[in-house]
Chains A and B, each alone.
Chain A
Amino acid sequence: MTGKGLVYLSGILLVLVAVVAIYIIAVNSFKKTKKYKMAYYFLLPTIMGMLIIHLLPILQAIWMSFLDVEKDTLTNYLTAPFVGFKNYYEVLFNKNSIIRNGLMYAIRNTFWYAVLVTAGQIIFGMIVALLVNREFKGRSIARTLLLFPWVVPTYVVGFLWGFMWLKNEGIINVILVDILHLLPSKPDWLNGPLTLWAIIIPTIWRFWPLSMLMLLAGLQNISKDVYESADIDGANAWQKFWHITVPLLKPVWAVLILFGMIYNVYSFNIVIMMFGNGGGFPGKYGDLLMTNIFRNAFIGMHFGIGAAASVILMIVMVILVIIWYKIFGESLTT
């Protein structure tokens, strides 16, 4: 390890020691916590892990967003010149800034992408969960096989679907037009407005098994007695679904919505692989925030500006999480 590396490592370790020390002192000082002191000690390894994996990089990114870290100053890294809110100005107000090239398109695309993918994977996951929740032969094999898309790496999904969307030879157009005759002509999925669908559909395909798995677990937790009572009261299938299944699954919806929104806003692999294996351009209908920031900020080595853009996005996401908690917080605790 180099000298610089050792300095960084020692810095990180000292911060961790300080945090652990504060944590232990806090646990010992508060009367209320004394009752569960042992439990807090057991939580310590997890808290340490979270600090290393999440908090330190976040703090580093926030600090970096106030620094002029770019190609000339990269070797200084976290000791690069302090520039205050200049990087935030570049992202938010300077129309000529390199980060703004196509940023508005990327924001629009990311919004629709996150909303539609999250909705799609939950709806599709729910339909399949209801189907495999019934008793039938080979149910466990079917459940296992249905998880298949979930185990395919996202970059492979992007690469393969890139082939499948091809206008003439692509399997999707062949099925839609040549075999099923559902459309009068073959649509152009990889150029123009349809590009957004070309990235939404594979993402739903990749992630719906997770939704299905969680919703299935939720369905199995609902007592059969509730449905039997509804039967006695003369409720039909739709009424049972709407008045029993949907409300009782609310905590699962809540978690899926949260995970879906966060994961999809930060989506990167599928898009980057589908359009030129990382070297191409998804176009103004396919570019997402992450691919935009990656191209404009990180390839161009404007790390400070990239960090500022990421911090702004993080703040937006925190606001969304607060709104989410206001809507779903109660259902989670009940």
Chain B
Amino acid sequence: MKKVSLLILTLIFLVSSIFVSCSKNKNQQKTKSNESQQVQLRIWIMPNSSKPAEDLNEILKPFLEENPNIKVKVEVLDWGAAWTKITTAATSGDAPDLVQLGTTWTSLITGMNALLPLDDLAKEVGGESAFVKGLWTYAKPVFSKHVTSLPWIVDVRPLYYRKDVFEKVGIKLDDIKDWEGFKKALEKIKKANLVIDGQKVAPIGYPGKNDWNVVHNLAPWIWMAGGDIISEYGDSVLLDSPQTLKGVMYYISFVKDGLMPKDYLEKNTAQLSVEFDQGRIATWFEPTSKYIYLNKPPEQGGASNTIGAKNYGVALPPAGPAGRILFLGGSNLAIFKSTKHPEEAKKLLKFLTTDIDAQIGYFQKCGLLPAYKAAFNDPYFTDDPIRRVFKEMTEYGKAYPSVPYWAEIETSVLTVSFGDIFEYIKLTPNDKINKKDIAKILKDAANRIRNIIAKDLKEHPEHKAIIDSLKAAQQNKVEAKANTTKK
């Protein structure tokens, strides 16, 4: 029995020595940081460019020269693993100082009370009006009293078209300003049955269910038809409205009318992007990063030598019956509450989100647009015809409602239901694609979303109160505007 007690005592000794060494290390770290006054900030970013850490470090150079006491350690997370890592960091408190958040994530992470309020910084940099229209909803989510992140980079998806195809068929950019004209133009291309450089050219291409952009691709067509997924404040569902169905039907009519090879529906964005480069697609929607890729030589990982790159133009997507409303995504930068250096972190955040050179420089690296409006007044954007289109795109952007249950709606319901729609049109002969079947899928999805919203509002009566007050404020604004116009 003596041996047993000895063994147990040894184990307890081991455990306590681990604690002692842990707290010793902590104290040592504190002393060291006090001694040197050096601050090391950690920032988590996604692979926004081909050399993510290297590219951001280059952007940071002027900041580091100006702030010699600050060092920045850039850590790159894969998009697939980022969600788990960020939520774990938010839960455990073992987090970096700054973090890149996909726009639709800000609300949920804010709801976890893990982010530092940035109201003072937001005010200092000019608030909502300083950033691209629509992005502020992500910076200050619907149910948050505080600004918890600042917009950093913007994802908009212009229309890339083949200039040579348009020329051959006789299509001008004015012809594709609206849905009707766009459809007619695609039909013209189809009729022309073009084969250029040995490649048969399809009028349009977009991916189906095996892609990560299904919801972002379809949403603008729903909005432009006057429909929506959920209302602005996220309290009611519009996915089963007739306008939404109209938008979906218009989008899938490209397949139904034979304007797009059905096989494209089994591909993803990356695969179809290559189809455009190889000269097999005449019109194609993709984020602005495509522009950087098309202008990069192949030895640097670009596609400047391809048919697509040699003949491409960029235009605004066609406007629907409800106007031109485009997808607005991207990423914000936030500071975790657990940071030990809030002031330095804010300095860095301010630099990355509002320094014009940093914003333009990062666009040149990753191809995602600056979120800071002033950057678009730079000759870099005003003097170039393609970049002028990008600038114009930001004026038509629409954000998803920034509510904490959006991620669930997008992943668990919309990805699945839109995936079902694409699988249905892929497997059904074109003449048998039925509006009623599509409506049923949308109806089922809408009911699922209703359950999600009802559950949230039941569990959080304060959310309902906030929505009511926001609606009242909006109503007052409308009335005040109407009164001013009358006067």
Binding site for B on A (CB under 8 A): 1-2, 4-6, 9-10, 13-14, 17, 20-21, 24-25, 28, 71-72, 74-75, 77, 96, 98, 101-102, 162-163, 166-168, 188, 190-192, 274-281, 283-284, 295-296, 298-302
Please tell me if the beta carbons of A278 and B212 are within 8 angstroms of each other in the complex: yes
Q: Assess whether B209 is in contact with A283, with CB atoms less than 8 Å apart.
A: yes
* B18 close to A75 (CB less than 8 A): no
Assuming the contacts A75-B114, A192-B423, asked whether A280 and B11 have C-beta atoms less than 8 A apart, the reply is no
Chain B: residues with Cβ within 8 Å of the partner, total of 59
> Which residues on the B side are within 8 Å of A277 (C-beta)?
80, 212, 268
**A155 CB, nearest partner CB in chain B, Å:** 9
What's the minimum C-beta distance from A16 to chain B, rounded to whole angstroms?
A: 8
Determine the chain B residues whose CB is within 8 A of the CB of A283 once the complex forms: 209, 419-420, 423
CB within 8 A of B87: which of A74, A192, A279?
A74
Stretch at the interface among B39-47, B89-97, B124-132: B89-97
Give, as a whole number of angstroms, the nearest-CB distance from A325 to chain B. 34
Residues of B within 8 A of A281 (CB): 209-210, 214, 415-416, 419-420
Contact B267 A284 (CB under 8 A): no
The chain B residue with its CB closest to the CB of A296 is B412
Q: Can you name the residue of chain B whose Cβ is closest to the Cβ of A166?
A: B266
Q: Which residues of B contact A191 (CB under 8 A)?
A: 208-209, 265-266, 423, 426-427
Q: How far is the CB of A283 from chain B (nearest CB, A)?
A: 5
A14 proximity list for chain B (CB < 8 A): 15
Contact with B210, one of A71, A192, A276, A298 (Cβ below 8 angstroms)? A276
A1: chain B residues within 8 A (beta carbon):
22, 26, 94
Interface of A is mostly: loop
Cβ contact within 8 Å between A71 and B411? no
B482 within 8 A of A: no
Query: How far is A13 from B111 in the complex, measured between Cα atoms in Å?
Result: 32
Residues of A close to B420: CB separation below 8 A? 281, 283-284
With beta carbons under 8 angstroms apart, the residue of B8, B408, B419 that contacts A280 is B419
Residues A300 and B408 in contact in the complex (CB < 8 Å), given A192-B427, A277-B268, A279-B212: yes
Question: What separation, in Å, do the CA atoms of A280 and B266 have in the docked complex?
Answer: 11
Interface residues of B in 411-433 (CB under 8 A from A): 411-413, 415-416, 419-420, 423, 426-427
A2-B93, A17-B15, A301-B408 in contact; A96/B210 too (CB < 8 A)?
A: no
Closest to A273 in B: B80
Neighbouring B residues of A25 by C-beta, 8 Å:
4
A2-B92, A17-B15, A190-B210 given; A98·B266 CB < 8 A: no
Q: A24-B8, A71-B111, A75-B112 are in contact. Are A6 and B415 (CB under 8 A)?
A: no
Which residues of chain B come closer than 8 Å to A163, judged between CB atoms? 271
A6 to B25, CA, bound (A): 13
Contact (Cβ within 8 A) B268 A75: no
Residues from chain B with a CB closer than 8 A to the CB of A101 are 412-413, 416, 448
In the complex, the answer to whether A98 meets B452 with C-beta atoms within 8 Å is yes
Establish whether residues B407 and A300, one from each chain, have CB atoms under 8 Å apart when the complex forms.
yes
Check if B197 is an interface residue, CB within 8 A of chain A. no
5 contacts between A and B (CB under 8 A): A5-B94, A98-B451, A278-B79, A279-B213, A299-B408
Please name all residues of chain B whose beta carbon is closer than 8 Å to the beta carbon of A300 when the two chains form the complex.
405, 407-408, 411-412
In the complex, whether B374 has a CB less than 8 A from a CB of chain A is: no
Complex Cα gap A182–B452 (Å): 49
Q: Closest Cβ of chain B: how far from A10's Cβ, in Å?
A: 7
The reply to whether the CB of B83 lies closer than 8 angstroms to some CB of chain A is: yes
CB within 8 A of B91: which of A75, A190, A192, A296?
Answer: A75
**What separation, in Å, do the CA atoms of A279 and B79 have in the docked complex?**
10
Complex: chain B residue closest to A287, CB-CB? B416
Which A residues lie within 8 Å of B415 (CB)? 279-281, 295
Chain A neighbourhood of B1, CB < 8 A: 28
Given A17-B8, A276-B209, A283-B419, 11 new contacts (CB under 8 A): A77-B91, A96-B448, A96-B451, A98-B408, A274-B210, A279-B213, A280-B210, A280-B415, A281-B210, A300-B408, A301-B87
For the complex formed, measure the closest distance between the CB of A100 and the CB atoms of chain B, giving whole angstroms.
10
CA A304 to CA B61, docked complex, whole Å: 45
Given A20-B11, A277-B212, A283-B419, also A74-B112 (CB < 8 A): yes
Q: What residue of chain A has the Cβ atom nearest to residue B15's Cβ? A: A13
B residues near A77, Cβ cutoff 8 Å: 91
* Chain A residues near B87 (CB-CB < 8 A): 74, 301
**A301, B423: Cβ atoms under 8 Å?**
no
B263: interface (CB < 8 Å): yes
* Chain B CB within 10 A, most for which of A9, A25, A102, A276: A276
- Interface residue from B263, B267, B412 paired with A295 (Cβ < 8 Å): B412
Residue of A nearest to B78 (CB): A278
Write out the residue numbers on chain B whose beta carbons fall within 8 Å of the beta carbon of A9: 18
List B contacts of A276 (CB < 8 A). 209-212, 214, 268
Tell me if A190 and B266 are in contact (CB < 8 A). yes
Known: A188-B266, A295-B412. A162 touches B94 (CB 8 A): no
B8–A75 contact, CB under 8 A? no
Q: Which of B93, B263, B451 contacts A4 (CB 8 A)?
A: B93
- Closest chain B CB from A321 CB (angstroms): 29
Give Cα distance in the complex from A279 to B213, angstroms: 8
The answer, yes or no, to whether B474 is at the interface (CB within 8 Å) is no
B265 near A71 with CB under 8 A, answer: no
In the bound assembly, the distance between CA atoms of A6 and B460 in angstroms comes to 32
Task: Kindly state whether residue B173 has any CB partner on chain A within 8 Å.
Answer: no
Tell me the complex Cα distance, A279–B411, Å: 8
B370 at the interface (CB under 8 A from A): no
Q: How far is the CB of A304 from the nearest CB of chain B, in Å?
A: 13
CB of A167, distance to nearest CB on chain B (Å): 5
B268 and A280 form a contact (CB under 8 A): yes
* A5-B94, A190-B210, A279-B212 known; A17+B451 contact, CB < 8 A: no
Name the A residues within 8 Å of B83 (CB-CB): 299
Q: Is the CB of A299 within 8 A of B112?
A: no
B330 at the interface (CB under 8 A from A): no
**Which single residue of chain B is at the shortest CB-CB distance from A162?**
B210
- For the complex formed, measure the closest distance between the CB of A280 and the CB atoms of chain B, giving whole angstroms: 5
Inter-chain CA distance A274–B420, complex, in Å, is 17
Within 8 A of A (CB), among B96-128: 108, 111-114
Q: For A4, list chain B residues within 8 Å (CB).
A: 92-93
Q: Nearest 4 A-B pairs (CB), nearest first? A: A279-B212, A281-B419, A300-B408, A299-B411
Least CB distance from A170 to B in Å reads 9
- Interface status of B241 (Cβ within 8 A of chain A): no
| C-alpha spacing A278/B413, complex, angstroms | 15
Are A167 and B412 CB-contacts (below 8 A) given A2-B93, A279-B212? Answer: no
- Which of A28, A71, A166, A167 is packed against the most chain B CB atoms within 10 Å? A71
Give the chain B neighbours of A162 by CB distance below 8 A.
210
Residue of A nearest to B25 (CB): A1
State whether the Cβ of B174 lies closer than 8 Å to any Cβ in chain A. no
- CB pair B407–A75 under 8 Å, yes or no, is no
